[in-house]
């Protein structure tokens, strides 16, 4: 399941961020905040929601599930109650994470194009970190790539892949942090 930012536009330009993660890296809710604020949106809240890992599917498999949906509905009620009648928020919520986002560890899992790549450009268009250049679609900048796997999901030819051995190493590295169910979090 790909990671995504879902935002809800409420009166004027107020944003609520929902960032999916698999339980090891809640820092991922920060990267898009600056982009939205530069467009005049005010951050009203952040939600860190657990979702199935985009590469190692055994972690948080089946998430979000009904328990998550119930928890997120509760968050929505809390947010609407807080924002009801509010035109401009007086306090900016404290949202954890690095800005800009920096992935943990070394090289990370950087998808590479296979021979099946037809250079359609959807990977570059969808990359939130701008790690894939339109001039060089077959490679990704390992320093910019945040290993979100959006390019893998967007590719209509399934031509972007990650090294299987690296995936196995990553699975072992995050096993401890992903072995217990983690809850969703609301930051207001």
> 3-class DSSP state for residue 61?
coil
Residue 102's pLDDT is 58
Q: Is residue 7 classed exposed, middle or buried when 0-12, 13-18 and 19+ CB atoms within 10 A define those classes?
A: middle
6-10, 80-84, 101-105, 182-186: which has the minimum mean pLDDT?
A: 6-10
List every span in the chain annotated with CATH 3.30.70.20: 112-176
The pTM for the full model equals 0.64
Specify the residue for token string 């809710």. Answer: 29
pLDDT digits (tens, 9 = 90+) for 18-77: 555 555 455 554 545 555 566 777 777 788 888 888 788 888 899 999 999 999 999 988
Per residue, the 3-state secondary structure of 67-102, as one string, reads: HHHHHHHHHHHHHHHHHCCCCCCCCCCCCCCCCCCC
CATH code assigned to 112-176: 3.30.70.20
pLDDT digits (tens, 9 = 90+) for 69-106: 999 999 988 888 877 766 556 667 777 776 665 555 55
């Amino acid at each position: 399941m790909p990671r995504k930012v879902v935002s809800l536009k409420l009166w004027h330009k107020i944003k609520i961020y929902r960032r999916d993660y698999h339980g090891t890296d809640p820092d991922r809710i920060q990267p898009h905040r600056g982009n939205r604020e530069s467009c005049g949106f005010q951050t009203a809240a952040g939600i860190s929601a657990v979702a199935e890992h985009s590469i190692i599917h055994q972690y948080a498999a089946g998430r979000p599930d009904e328990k998550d949906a119930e928890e997120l509905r509760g968050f929505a009620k809390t947010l609407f109650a807080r924002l009801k009648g509010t035109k401009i928020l007086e306090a900016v919520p404290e949202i954890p994470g690095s800005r800009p986002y920096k992935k943990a560890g070394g090289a990370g899992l950087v998808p590479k194009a296979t021979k099946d790549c037809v250079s359609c450009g959807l990977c570059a268009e969808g990359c939130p970190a701008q790690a894939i250049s339109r001039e060089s679609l077959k490679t990704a900048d390992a320093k910019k790539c945040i290993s979100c796997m959006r390019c893998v999901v967007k590719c209509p030819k399934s031509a972007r892949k990650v090294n299987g051995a690296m995936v196995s190493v990553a699975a072992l590295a995050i096993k401890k942090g992903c072995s217990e169910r983690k809850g969703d979090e609301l930051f207001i």
